[in-house]
Amino acid sequence: MGKVTLKQLAEQLGLSVATISRALHDSYEINVETKKKIKQLAQELNYQPNPFASSLRQHKSKTIALIIPDISNHFFSLVIKGVERIASDKNYHILIYNTHESYLKEQSITKHLISGRVDGVLISPSLETSNLEHLQEIMNRNIPLILFDRVFDDLETIKIVSNDYESSYQATEHLIHSGCKKIVFLLIAQNLSITSKRLLGYKDALVKNGLGVDENLVIALTNNDEHNFKMVHQLMVDQKPDAIFASVEHLAIMSYDVCKSLGIAIPHDVKVLGYSNLNVARHLNPALTTISQSAQEMGELAANLIIQQIEGKELDIITSHLEIKSHLIIRASTL
Amino acid sequence: MGKVTLKQLAEQLGLSVATISRALHDSYEINVETKKKIKQLAQELNYQPNPFASSLRQHKSKTIALIIPDISNHFFSLVIKGVERIASDKNYHILIYNTHESYLKEQSITKHLISGRVDGVLISPSLETSNLEHLQEIMNRNIPLILFDRVFDDLETIKIVSNDYESSYQATEHLIHSGCKKIVFLLIAQNLSITSKRLLGYKDALVKNGLGVDENLVIALTNNDEHNFKMVHQLMVDQKPDAIFASVEHLAIMSYDVCKSLGIAIPHDVKVLGYSNLNVARHLNPALTTISQSAQEMGELAANLIIQQIEGKELDIITSHLEIKSHLIIRASTL
DNA sequence: ATGAAAGCGCTAACAC
DNA sequence: GTGTTAGCGCTTTCAT
């Protein structure tokens, strides 16, 4: 019952640990017969190599860190699923961390990682993150790092994003074509790459379609739901917009709440549309038009790339943005 | 830039590695001055201890494995969040694994874990799991293991569950009190502890309220959505029930789909109710009556208990079931 | 209060 | 084809 080690196998078979180690690694220099014997005994005793010993020796851990701003957000949970699928395929382990959108938390997590605990890092930075030293520090230690969804141009590494500008442009045009003239844009965390790209897509679509940009209709919200509710409530009363474009899921849901409380009918009085991966969007009242990101695919790509990088494949895409297409799914809320 | 080790600190200060190690662990036997000097240099050089070396030495890793049947399911993503919160508080790391409801996958994961890679295991077994040897094997190696949500009585370890029997009983009574007489119970994976407890609650409530159990109304479904849809579709046509009680979330959503396709009005023609943690349940069409589990709380409890067990606190609850209350939230779908 | 040395379990360079 | 040996970086016993 005590743990089985190479040494024990060696003793039982009258061989050296080196031979055992080589055999289990399928080294070509080991006699086929001996190899067979060794493998069989290992199997019988249910030998599992001590990962710490081999990590210590080899300076690699077959482990990647996945750092996420909000684990229970459906988008991110799909990313996790994608990452896990690939990692598991390639015999990598995943350490998962939640920053709760806090820069301090993110910092303390990354600090632990420079110990070499992981071979690579996948991160979508917190809302609060603007100083990038902690990420640069990881890269300085030659630990591959990939940014996904939320990225920073300043960091010279692989970045995986959605086609946020285009999807936002397309969604805005959809609203315009549906006859909307006064479209509110709800956003959170102005500094975020995804936010600014989505905002730009929105503005460009307005201009291109002959509707000017009214800055009163661009509303920056916070992490405080109550405050957000009040803001949007006020906005609906003051501005009477004919559409709401929510740049993140929970703002779309909140818009439903606001409309309900004001007796405003969706889509009759105001159309609503939002970025969201909710698979029950079609069952909302009314069914919500969404821009759905390929979250799992993003996770899979991220995992594949980080593993390639770890295993030394030179990637000439180091500084490039990789884009994954999102999809506009039109439903009753904008009809 | 190369990794900083104890040895390097020792050389720079003209001390031995032993002293450095002790100082950084705040050993009382080290001179206060020396300690200060050492800590300062460690800070300056951003020293991070090599976790593999210390794990190898101490036979513990400050890491726990979290094995989940479906990572992207909202219930489980809340559990993950809860576990992460506590683990992070106590400086533990989490390795996350997804079984995709596959017994084979689960087996291969647990096999990796007997190497001592983790100090403890939290698991909610897959739908397919009935043989428990792989879990017993972990326990045999003296690795603490806790079951949550889905449990097996045969395993002599801590089990954390929801009050499934009572919540199901209560929900069924709610339907009966609302005038329903022909209540369908949709289930998946009969062998699951939660399923059988929920089913029992349903049946007992029927009997207690003078409505017999009609086995034709208890429908065992699978993981195949298309097949499930057909089954329920057929059922609605043949049996014309006045209520559907879905024992898992996606079966409730699917019931909405079926009703829509048949032009059956919820709640007028049939009332629908289901176990679910969807926070948009209130925005469905119609708003869905749910039994909501305290998923995050469950994760937090699981993490707290496994860490206590790892750290050697004797728990006299080893063989007991710990229950976390669920809540019935009545909404339009059953009114 | 500090140091020397052994050893956790494994890998790999170097013998033979 | 197999064995010997050194060493990854740390903790800890034993000595001083």
The DSSP line for B49-63 is --HHHHHHHHT--SE
Domain-located, residue B192: yes
Contact B303, B86 (CB under 8 A): yes
C1' of D2 to CA of A22 (Å) = 10
Domain-located, residue A56: no
Q: Which two tokens stand for residue B259?
A: 């009703």
Closest nucleotide (C1' vs CA) to B19 is C2
Whether residue B302 sits in one domain with residue B240: no
Whether residue B299 sits in one domain with residue B289: no
Whether residue A134 sits in one domain with residue A201: no
Nucleic acid strand C: bases within 7 A of protein CB = 1-5, 7-13
How confident is the model at residue B3, as a pLDDT? 84
Domain-located, residue A1: no
Whether residue A86 sits in one domain with residue A26: no
Establish how many alpha carbons lie within 13 A of residue B185's alpha carbon, considering only the half-sphere containing its beta carbon. Answer: 24
Domain-located, residue B58: no
* Tens digit of each residue's pLDDT (9 = 90 or more) over A37-55: 999 999 999 999 999 999 9
How confident is the model at residue A280, as a pLDDT? 87
Per-residue confidence in pLDDT tens, chain A, 335 aa: 468 999 999 989 999 999 999 999 998 988 888 999 999 999 999 999 999 999 999 999 999 999 999 999 999 999 999 999 999 999 999 999 999 999 999 999 999 999 999 999 999 999 999 999 999 999 999 999 999 999 999 999 999 999 999 999 999 999 999 999 999 999 998 888 999 999 999 999 999 999 999 999 999 998 888 999 999 999 999 999 999 999 999 899 999 999 999 999 999 999 999 999 988 898 898 999 999 999 999 999 999 999 999 998 766 655 567 999 999 999 999 99
| Distance in angstroms (rounded) separating the CA atoms of residues A289 and B69 | 30
Measured over the CA atoms of residue A283, residue A288, residue A290 and residue A295, the dihedral's sign is negative
Predicted TM-score (pTM) of this structure? 0.94
Whether residue B146 sits in one domain with residue B254: no
How confident is the model at residue B1, as a pLDDT? 47
Whether residue B78 sits in one domain with residue B34: no
Protein residue minimizing CA–C1' distance to D2: A19
C1' of C16 to CA of A220 (Å) = 75
Residues of B whose CB is below 8 A from A61? 52
Whether residue A314 sits in one domain with residue A198: no
Whether residue A209 sits in one domain with residue A245: yes
Domain-located, residue A218: yes
Q: Residues contacting strand D at CB < 7 A?
A: A 14-19, 22, 27, 29-31, 34-35, 53, 56-57, 59; B 3, 5-7, 17-18, 21-22, 24-25, 49-50, 53-54, 56-58
Structural domain that includes position B86? 63-162+295-323
Residues linked to residue B185 through DSSP beta bridges, in sequence order: B218, B245
How confident is the model at residue A316, as a pLDDT? 61
Which string of b and e fits A106-127 if b means at least 16 CB within 10 Å?
Answer: bbebbebbbbbbbbbbbbbbbb
Question: Torsion-angle region of residue B179: left (phi > 0), alpha (psi -120 to 50) or beta?
Answer: left
Compute the nearest-CA separation of B107 from chain A (Å).
13
Q: Which two tokens stand for residue B124?
A: 């909610």
- Mean pLDDT, chain B cut into blocks of 10 residues (335 residues total): 85 93 92 92 94 96 97 96 98 98 97 94 95 95 95 93 97 97 94 93 97 95 91 96 95 94 95 93 92 96 95 67 93 96
Protein residue minimizing CA–C1' distance to C13: A18
The CATH number for B283's domain is 3.40.50.2300
C-alpha B46 chain-centroid distance: 37
Contact call for A283 and B284, based on CB within 8 A: yes
Whether residue B287 sits in one domain with residue B178: yes
C1' of C7 to CA of B57 (Å) = 8
Contact call for B285 and A284, based on CB within 8 A: yes
Whether residue A272 sits in one domain with residue A173: yes
| Distance in angstroms (rounded) separating the CA atoms of residues B278 and B318 | 32
Residues of A whose CB is below 8 A from B284? 280, 283-285
C1' of D5 to CA of A31 (Å) = 22
Nearest CA in chain B to A253: B280
Domain-located, residue B287: yes
Contact call for B280 and A284, based on CB within 8 A: yes
Whether residue B107 sits in one domain with residue B13: no
Domain count, chain B: 3
Q: Which of B93, B96, B253 sits opposite A283 (nearest CB)?
A: B253
How confident is the model at residue A29, as a pLDDT? 85
Domain-located, residue B168: yes
Give the residue from B327, B317, B307 showing the smallest Cα distance to B162. Answer: B327
Whether residue A234 sits in one domain with residue A151: no
Compute the nearest-CA separation of A61 from chain B (Å).
9
Count of A–B CB contacts within 8 Å? 140
C-alpha A202 chain-centroid distance: 23
Domain-located, residue B67: yes
Secondary structure of residue A57 in the 3-state scheme:
helix
